[in-house]
Structure 1
Amino acid sequence: MRHGLMLDPFVDMNELEVSWVAEQTWHYRITFTASADRRGPGAKVDLVFEGLDTLATVTLNGEVILESDNMFVEHRVSIGELLIDETANTLKIVFEPARRRGLELVKTHPDHNFIVHQTEVSRGPVRKAQYHWGWDWGPILLTCGPWKPVRLESYVNRIEDIRVDYDLRMSQGSPTVLEATIQAHVVDPAAAVEVELFRPGELTAALRDRKKSPHGAQSWLYTSSILGMENPPLWWPRGYGPQQSCKLRLRSIASDGSTVLAEEHQTLGFRKVELIQEKDQFGKSFYFRINGVDVFCGGSCWIPADSFLPRISPQRYRDWIELLAEGNQNMVRVWGGGIYESDAFYTACDELGILVWQDFMFACASYPVYPDFLSSVATEARQNIRRIRHHPSVFLWCGNNEDYQLERYHLEYNFDSDKDPESWLQSTFPARYIYEHLLPNIHPGSPWGDGSSTTLKVDRTVGDIHQWDLWNGEAKPWQLLPQMGGRFVSEFGMVAYPHTDTIQRFVADPRERYAGSQTMDFHNKAVTHERRLLAYVGENFRLAWAGTGAGARGSGLDGFAHLTQVLQADALGMGYKSWRRHWGREGGARWCGGVLAWQLNDCWPVVSWAVADYYLVKKPAYYAIKRALAPLVVGVTRKFHDWTTRPADALWKRNTGHVDQRKPLTDIEFDVWVSSLRLEPVKGMLVVRFISIRTGQEVKERMEREVEVQPNGCTEVLVGYKFDWGKAAAAAPEHFVIHASLWVDGAQVSTDTSWPDPLKYLDFSDRGLEVRHVRPGLVELSAEKPVKGIVFAERQGIKLSDNGFDLVPGDEPKRVQVEDTSDELTWTFVGR
C-alpha cells in the first residue's frame, strides 16, 4: 500500500480486492553484517523474534533455525556459530497461508469437534489473532509477516525474567506493611544479583544476594526478600486514589564485585485485589475489592486498534487510554479474539489507573486439544503472563470469550459431577480442558457463572453476563435494559454510524454517501444489520427526520447517522445508569458490580458498536457513558409502555396492535435516585421538574428535596412515584419531560431527563435553541422548549467536553468547552 501497489482495503469495497494476499506464500528477506567483536570471550549471539504472524519457517545463511506456528509466542535462537564475520548474512522468513494450514489441520484432526461461530472453521486450530478472519465489526484481512521486532543480541549474561511476589498486610481495612520476594532468572552465572527498590523519591531497600538454584542448563534462579516496607505507596484504580509506583532495578554482578553484567528495570504498583463472590439475597455477588475498598467497574471492551497491528504506535495506544480515562471509565476488557496487547497499552493503563480484564486469546469457538496445540497454548500463556504480570493494571485473567456455547451446540458439560480433566478431552466439549485445567486460577470464560451459567442464555443471579437480548437475540427495546442486568455485565451494546466526516474518509465515491448504500452496507458487518438497525430507528424516530430534500443532509446520510447515534447514546446511557443504580442498593448489597460496553474502539472505519471510531472520533454514546459514570450522578426513569413487543393475546396466542396510546399520558410512574462513587456522604438538593414538550412551560409544581447521598452506593429518592395531573388536568394531558437535577453547595453537579416513548410521536418544531460563542473555546446553549439529542459534528482535530445531550428551558445554561483546530462548529438535534 505504501508503494501504491495495492488499494487501501479500508476504503470503499477494496477489502475484496486484496483478498488474494491471504492465499499466497510470502518471503521476507534481509541481509546484515556481524562484526567479530560481537563474539568476544564468553559472548553469545541470539536472534530474537518477538512475534511472527504466523506460520513461519526461518533460515539463516541457508540453514533452518526456526519453525513457528503461534503468533503470540516469542522465539530466541542462538546463532553464533552460523554467523559469517564481516560479510553479508542472509536471514529469510517464509510465511505459509494461515487459512490453508487451518483447513488442513481440521482435516487432520477430525475427532476434535471443531466449532467456530464467527467466520469460518479454519481459524480454530491456528494460533493467530482470530479477528483477522473477520468479525461482525471487522474485515477479513489475513495478514502475515514479522508483526513485532526482530533483533540481534550479544551478551555474556542475561536477566531473562523477574518475578515479584508480594503480600499487603492489612490493618483496620488499610494496607500497612508490604512483604515481597523477588526472583531473578539469570542466563549464565553471575557472582551475585543486586536488587534495589525505590519508592517515590527514596531508596527503600538494596540487597546483594548470592543465593541461587539451578534452573536448567546455564540458567539460575536468584531469590531475594524485602520485608516490612511500612505504609507502602499504593496503586489505585482511577477515581479512587493515586497511581503510585515503585521502581525496581536488578543487576547481575561479576566476580570482581563491581562489573555489571546485565541490568533490568521494572515499574511496580502495589495493590490488593479481591473478587468478591458471596451468597446474598439475589444469588451470588461478583464485584471487586481493591485495597480494601469496593470498586464499581465501569468501562468498555477493547479490540485491536487496527487490522494492521504494527501501525499502532505507543502514542496511539496512549491516546486511546486517555480517551477512555477522560470518559470517567476505570476498566477495559482486552477481548479474546485479538492479541495480548503491547507493553505500551498496559503502561498507559498503569499510569492512568485503568483496570485491565485480560482474556486469553480464545473467542467464539470450540478449540482443539491435540498435544501440539496444547503445548503451544501453554507456552503462549506462560510467556505472556510473565511479560505483563508486573503491571498493576492487570487484575484479572479470563479463559475465553463466549466459548461456552453449550446449549447452542449440545456440548457435554457436567460441572458438578465430572471433575476429571482427562475425561473432558474425550467429551464433545474438550476445550474445557484448556480453560479449567491448563489455564488454572482464572475466571474460566466470559460469560461464566460458576458452572451454572456458562452460555449466552444468561443467569442474572451469578457470574458475569453478556447481555445480547439488546440488538441480538430477542432484540428487545433498549428501554427494557433496567430489567436486563446481572451481577456483572461484561458486554452489551448498540450499533451506530460514525460521524459523517469519518464516513467521507472511507466512502470515496460521493454517489455512495447515503444511508443504506452498497458501500455503507459493506462497512457494516453486523448480522442482519439492515433489519435490526432500521427496526430500532423506526420504532423510536420519524424516518423523515433523516432528511428527504436536496443537498448533503437531504441524502439521508447526516440525518440517519444522527438518529443512530442518539439511539446508541440513549441505550448505553440507560444501561450504565440503571445498572449502576444497583451498586449498593437494597441495604448496601452489590447487586451489580460493573458494566462494560461492547465496544470502545474499531480496527478500521466501519458502522459498529464502537463508541469512538477508528480515528478516535467520539460518538455521542461516549459522552452518555461519561455522564453516567461521573462520581455523583442523578438518574430518572419513568414507567415504560411498550408499543412494539406486546405480550401475546391470551385467546389467539399472538401479538396484536391493539394498545391504548393514551396510557403514556395518564399512567405515569417514575423513579429518581442518586449514585455516588465518593467514599464519604454528600448532602445536596434534588429538584424534579415536569416540562411540556409543546410549550416549554412546567405542567406541574416542581419537587425539591434535601438528600443525603450514601457513600459508594445508590440512594433511592423516589420509587414508583405516581404522577397525578391534579388541577393541571383542567387542560388535556400533554407530553412532558421529567427533568431531575442535583445541587451540591449551590452548584448543579448532575442532571438527567426522562422522555415519553416513542419520540416519533412528539413534535420537535420551534425549539428556540440558541448556541452562543461566549469566548474562544467555550460555547453556551439554551432553549425555549425541551431539545432532544443535540449533537455537534465531530472529526479529527476537534475535542469537546460534552456532546449528544438533551436541553430543557429554565435550567442552568449548558456550557461546552471546545478545542477546535479547523472550521466552525455545526450541530443538529432530533426533529431539526
Structure 2
Amino acid sequence: MSRLNQHSLSNGWSFKDGQDESGNSWMSVPAIPSVVHQDLLANKKLKDPFIGFNELNSKWVNEKSWTYRNVFQKPEVAPGSIIVLAFDGLDTFAKVKLDGNIILESNNMFLAHRVDVTKALEADGEHILEIDFDCAMLRAQELRDQDPKHKWASFNGDPARMSVRKAQYHWGWDWGPTLMTAGIWRDVRLEVYTTRIADLWMEVQLTGDHQEATVSAFVEVDGAAGSHKAKCTLSLRGREVASEQSTVGEGGTAKVTFKIKNPSLWWPHGYGDPTLYELSASLADGHKELHHASKKIGIRTAEVVQQPDKHGKSFFFRINGVDIFCGGSCWIPADSILPNITPERYQKWAELMVTGRQVMTRVWGGGIYEDDSFYSACDELGVMVWQDFMFACGNYPTWPELLESIRREAVYNVSRLRHHPSIVIYVGNNEDYQVQEQNGLTYNFEDKNPENWLKTDFPARYIYEKLLPEVVKELAPDTFYHPGSPWGDGKITSDPTVGDLHQWNVWHGKQEKYQVYESHIIDFHNKADGHERRIATYLIENVRMTTDLETYIYITQVVQAEAMMYGYRSWRRQWGDDRRCGGSLLWQMNDCWPGISWAIVDYYLRPKPAFYAVARVLKPLAIGVQREHYDWSVTHAESPKTSKYSLWIASSLLKEVSGKVELRFIYVQTGLEVREQRVWNDVRIQANGTTDIIVDDIIDYTVYSEPHVLAARLWVDNEVAARDVDWPQPFKYLDLSERGLNIQRDFESDDLQSLRVSTRAPVKCLVFEERDGIKVSDSAMDIMPGDEQFATIMGLKGDSLKYKYLGQ
C-alpha cells in the first residue's frame, strides 16, 4: 500500500490555434491554471483587453478553437496503485487525448473531472496530453439553432449563452466586456494512490441552549477495502477536542460522531467570533498513513425566517437564534480572466467586506461557483454567503443532456462547498423569474407536477423547483434553498410583502435624453444601457455641473454615495418594524475589469465614496435623521412651506444600551445654528432593532427660512458613536463655497498621517483620494462646525494628501 502522491502538471504546456495544422505554431504557456487570453498576452499576440478599445481588437479570440499540449514523464508507481488524471476545471468544450486516444469529453466549465489512466500509462517514459478546446461562442449558437421552438428570452449577452454551462458574464454584461475564455482554468495533476479520501463532510446538530453540539463526520473513501479504518479528529485552535476511529463500510464511507460540550460557535462578524474547528481524517495501513485530509468547519445554526406578519410574510436570517440584519453587497467574479484571481486577492476582498461592515455577500448567478479560497476567507472573517446557482437573466432550455449536466454540476459544487459555515442559503437563479414575467412565459404556481413544467415555454422552472432543491436536500439538508432571486411563493417578483426583491427604480425606468460630456473611452468601459443619460439625469437633478473631468468623476461618486446611503438608512430603519426589511445587498461590490459600473470598490480594490457611506449606516449603532422628500421638479423650484422630519437609532447590538442624542440645525451658508439644538439624555436604545426619537415632527420654513442641515449625533459612554446629516435637497441650490475647512496633521511618519478635520461651515462629502498602496480609515465624510472628526491615511510615503469636497 502506498501513500497518495500528487504530481502537478502546471508547467511544460504549450498551445496553438486549434485550426492551425502547420505543426510549428506552438507557443509557450507560462503556467497552468490559465486561459488563452493570458497565454496570448504572455506571447505578445494580444494587447491587454482591459485597456482602451483593446476589447474590440480581442474579438477574434472569442471565435476560435484552441489546443493545449503537455509532454510529461510517467510518475513512479508502486505495485497495486492507480493513476488518476484530475482536472479541477476545463473551460468549456474540451476533448482530452492521452497519447492520441480520447479519454474525456467535457462541456461544462463548472465540473471537475477524474480519469483513471493507469492502463493508458502502462509504458514508462514520455506521454503526450493534448486538449482541444472548441469555440464556446460558435457551439452555443449551434445548440440554439437546434432548438428553435424554445423561447430564448434573456437580458444581457447573446441568448445562445443559456445553452452552454459556462460563466454567463463571459458573453458580456451591462458592466463587463465580452471575453470568451478557454483553457485549463483550474488546477490539473496526476494522483497516484492505492486508496484515498474522496470527500470529507459533516452534519452538525446544536441544542437550543447552545450547550452541546453533535458533529457527525463522514469520510468517503476511494479504492479502500472494507478492512480499512478512518480516523477522524476535531481540533480547535490547534488543540485536539475529540478523536475517533471507524471502519470503512461496503459503500466506501466511514462515519464518526462527536459530542462537543459548550462548543465555540461560528458567528457573523460583529456578532461574535467566527470560530472554526478543524476536522481531519486519515487512512492508514498499519502505522503507515496513506492519505490525510482536513477542512475548517463551523458550529452554528442558520435559518431563513418566513412567518406571517403585518406586512405579509417575513424573509430574514437568524444565526444561532439571533436575528441578523444582512447589510452587504452582491459579488461578481473579480476578473474576466479568472486565473488572475489569487487567494491573496480573495482575502483582500473579504477584508474589505469586513471593513465596510458588510455581514453578507451574494455570489451572483451569472458568474462562477467561486474558488475555495473565497469561501475560506468568508469563513475566517465571518462574512455570510448567499450562494446563487449559475443561472442569470434568462429562460434556460432543458433538453435531457443539459439537465443531466446541470445535475452533475450541482452535485459537484454543493458537495465541494457544503462544509463552509459562511454559506447560509442556496438560491436557484438570478432574475430568471423576472424574465418569465416580462416575456409572458407560462407559470402556473398551482401546478405542482414537474413533468408539466418541462412542456411549457418556461421549462427552467424544473431546474429551480425540482432538480436543484433535490440536490440541496440530499447533500446539504440543513441549508435553506430558495428557488430564485427575486422570488416569493409564486407571487410577482416585485411584491414587497413576501420573499426577496430587486429594487431597480433608482436606475431603470423612463429617462429623458440628455447629452453628457464627450469621453469615448470612458463610455466604452461603461456597459450599462443608456448610462450617459441616466448618470446625467441624476447629476443634473442633484449637483452643479462642471466640465472638469476630475470633478465630474467626483460628483458621480457623491451621487452614488448619497443614493446608497439613503437606501440603506431607510431599509435599516425598517428592520425594527417587525423585521419588515431583513437586509439589503447592494449591486455591486466589485468589478471584473477596470470599468464604470455600480461597484462600490473598483477593480484595483480601491474603495469609492459609497463604500464608506454604506459602512457608516451599517455601524453597530447608527443614527438617522431625514426630512420628507420634496420634489422640486414638480413644484418648479418653489420652496416648501413646511417639512416633516424624523430621527431614530438603529442597533445591531444584542443588549440594550443608553446614550445621549443631539440634533442641531445649522445654516449651510454661515455654519451658525438657526435654532436651539435639541438634546435627549439617557435614551434607552433597543437591542437589535430601531429606537424612534422623533416621528414626523414639523419644520416651519416661514420661521426657519435659511437653508440648514439637520446634524445628529449619538453619544455612548461619553464618545460619539454615530453621526448623520440631512441636507437641504437638491445640492445644486446650495452655495457651498468658502467652507473654512481645516485639515491638521496630528501625527505624521513616513507611512502614516493622522488627520484632525474641522470646519467653519458645513462640508459635504470630504473624500480623500484613493491610490494604489494607500489606505484610508474614513472618507466621504460630512463635517459640521464644532464637531471635529479624525482619519488616518497610510502609505502616502511623502506624496501629497489630495482631497475633494462638494463645492470646492
Judge same fold: TM > 0.5, yes or no.
yes
1:452 and 2:499 matched: no
Contact 2:331 2:364 in 1 (8 A): yes
Matches within 5 A, 1:94-113: 94-113=132-151
Q: Secondary structure at the match of 1:439?
A: helix
- Which residue identity is paired with 2:763? V
Aligned-pair distance for 1:180? Answer: 2.4
Pairing of 1:407-556 with structure 2 (within 5 A) = 407-415=437-445, 417-440=446-469, 442-454=481-493, 458-473=494-509, 516-543=518-545, 546=546, 548=547, 556=548
Ranges in structure 1 where 5+ consecutive residues have no aligned partner: 215-219, 477-513, 549-555, 647-657
Structure 2 residue aligned with 1:31 = 71
Q: Tell me the CA shift for residue 209 of structure 1.
A: 1.3
Per-residue CA deviation, residues 547-596 of structure 1 (Å, 9 max, x unaligned), is: x4xxxxxxx211110110000000001111110001123xxx11111111
Residue matched to 2:638: 661
Kindly state the Cα deviation for residue 475 of structure 1 after the two structures are TM-superposed.
6.9
Which SS does the other structure have where 2:125 is aligned? coil
| Whole-angstrom distance in 2 between the partners of 1:570 and 1:346 | 31
Q: Separation in 2 of the partners of 1:764 and 1:627?
A: 23
**Deviation of the 1:86 alpha carbon:** 4.0
* Contact 1:112–1:430 (CA under 8 A) maintained in structure 2: no
Matches within 5 A, 1:284-323: 284-323=313-352
Deviations along 1:434-491, whole A, 9 cap, x unmatched?
Answer: 000001151000011111133xxx1111111110011113579xxxxxxxxxxxxxxx
Q: In the TM superposition, what are the counterparts of 1:324-473 in structure 2 within 5 Å?
A: 324-404=353-433, 405-415=435-445, 417-440=446-469, 442-454=481-493, 458-473=494-509
Inter-partner Cα distance in structure 2 for 1:342 and 1:396:
17
Deviation string, structure 1 residues 288-321 (Cα, Å, up to 9, x no partner): 1111111111111000000100010000000100
1:170 is displaced (CA, Å) by 1.1
Q: Aligned pair 1:675/2:650, yes or no?
A: yes
1:153 and 2:184 correspond = no
Task: Provide the residue aligned with 1:217 in structure 2.
Answer: none
C-alpha distance in 2, partners of 1:602/1:368?
29
Quote the residue 2:157 is aligned against: 119
Is 1:185 matched with 2:212?
Answer: no
Aligned to 1:809: 785
Structure 2 residue 719 is the aligned partner of structure 1 residue 757:
no
Confirm or deny: 8 A CA contact 2:221 2:248 kept in the other structure: no
Deviation digits for residues 196-238 of structure 1 (CA, Å, limit 9, x no counterpart): 2223453222222125132xxxxx1222222x32111210011
Question: C-alpha displacement at 1:725, in angstroms?
Answer: 5.8
Assess, with a 3 A threshold, how the Cα gap between structure 1 residues 660 and 11 changes in structure 2: closer, same or farther: closer
| Other-structure match for 1:651 | none
Counterpart pick for 1:259 among 285, 288, 297? 288
Q: 1:47 aligns with which of 67, 75, 85?
A: 85
Which residue of the partner structure matches residue 12 of structure 2? none
Which secondary structure does the structure 2 equivalent of 1:537 belong to? helix
Residue in structure 2 matched with residue 576 of structure 1 by the alignment? 568
Q: Percent identity?
A: 46
Equivalent residue letter for 1:8: D
1:135-154 to 2 correspondences below 5 Å: 135-154=173-192
Paired residues of 2:152 and 2:160 also in contact (CA < 8 A): no
Displacement of 1:791 in angstroms is 1.3
Per-residue deviation, 1:253: 2.7
Question: What corresponds to 2:699 in structure 1?
Answer: 723
For residue 635 of structure 1, the aligned residue among 624, 631, 635 is 624
* Aligned-partner Cα distance in 2 for 1:615–1:516: 25
Deviations 1:313-352 (Å, cap 9, x if unpaired)?
0000001000111111111000000000011100100000
Match of residue 745 from structure 1: 717
2:204, 2:216 within 8 Å by CA — same for their partners in 1? Answer: yes
Paired with 1:774 and 1:233, the residues of 2 have a C-alpha distance of 41
Q: Is 1:610 the counterpart of 2:609 in the alignment?
A: no
CA distance in structure 1 between the aligned counterparts of 2:422 and 2:517, rounded to whole angstroms: 41
Aligned with 1:20 (options 60, 63, 73):
60
User: Aligned with 2:632: secondary structure?
Assistant: coil
Q: 2:557 aligns with which of 557, 561, 565?
A: 565
| Equivalent runs, 1:168-317 vs 2, <5 Å | 168-171=206-209, 175-190=210-225, 191-210=228-247, 212-214=249-251, 220-226=252-258, 228-254=259-285, 257-317=286-346
Give the whole-Å Cα distance in 2 for the aligned partners of 1:276 and 1:594.
13
Shift of the 761–725 alpha-carbon distance from structure 1 to 2, 3 Å rule, reads: closer
Equivalent residue for 1:60?
Answer: 98
Please say if residues 657 and 684 of structure 2, whose CA atoms lie closer than 8 Å, have aligned partners that are also in contact.
Answer: yes
Query: What residue number does 1:622 align with?
Result: 611
What residue is the counterpart of 2:583 in the other structure? Answer: 594
Match of 1:695 in 2: 670
Q: Structure 2: 5+ residue runs without aligned partners?
A: 1-40, 474-480
Deviation at 1:113, TM superposition (A): 2.5
Instruction: Give per-residue Cα distances to partners, 1:163-222, cap 9 Å, x unaligned.
Output: 211211113xxx1111222221111124211112223453222222125132xxxxx122
Change in CA separation of 1:625 and 1:807 when aligned onto 2, cut-off 3 Å: same
Q: 1:805, CA displacement in angstroms?
A: 1.4
Q: Distance in 2 between matches of 1:805 and 1:613?
A: 19
Output the amino acid matched with 2:664. R
Separation in 2, partners of 1:630, 1:721: 25
CA contact (8 A) 1:28 1:93 kept: yes
Is this contact kept in 1: 2:654–2:688, CA < 8 A? yes
Task: Supply the distance in 2 between the matched residues of 1:635 and 1:155 (Cα, whole angstroms).
Answer: 62
Following superposition, the deviation at residue 659 of structure 1 comes to: 4.0
Checking the alignment, whether the CA contact within 8 Å between 2:708 and 2:728 is kept in structure 1 is yes
Contact 1:469–1:475 (8 Å) recurs in 2: no
Q: Is the 8 A contact 2:511 2:533 kept in 1?
A: no
Q: Tell me the distance in 1 between the aligned counterparts of 2:747 and 2:275.
A: 38
Distance 1:311 1:86 in 2: 35
Q: Distance in 2 between matches of 1:775 and 1:371?
A: 67
Q: Separation in 2 of the partners of 1:118 and 1:739?
A: 43
CA displacement at 1:87 relative to structure 2: 2.3
Alignment check: 8 A CA contact 1:412 1:429 kept: yes
| Paired amino acid for 1:773 | R
Aligned residues: 746
Shift of the alpha carbon at 1:105? 0.5
Q: Could you tell me which residue of structure 1 aligns to residue 36 of structure 2?
A: none
> 1:235, 1:356 → 2: CA distance?
13
* CA distance in 1 between partners of 2:42 and 2:608 (Å): 30
Does structure 2 retain, via aligned residues, the 8 Å contact 1:346–1:393?
Answer: yes
Q: TM-score if structure 1 supplies the norm length?
A: 0.88
- Tell me, what secondary structure is at the counterpart of 1:778? strand
Output the CA distance in 2 between the equivalents of 1:258 and 1:829: 69
CA offsets 1:485-520 (integer angstroms, 9 cap, x no match): xxxxxxxxxxxxxxxxxxxxxxxxxxxxx9531111
Name the CA distance, whole Å, in 2 between partners of 1:181 and 1:768: 64
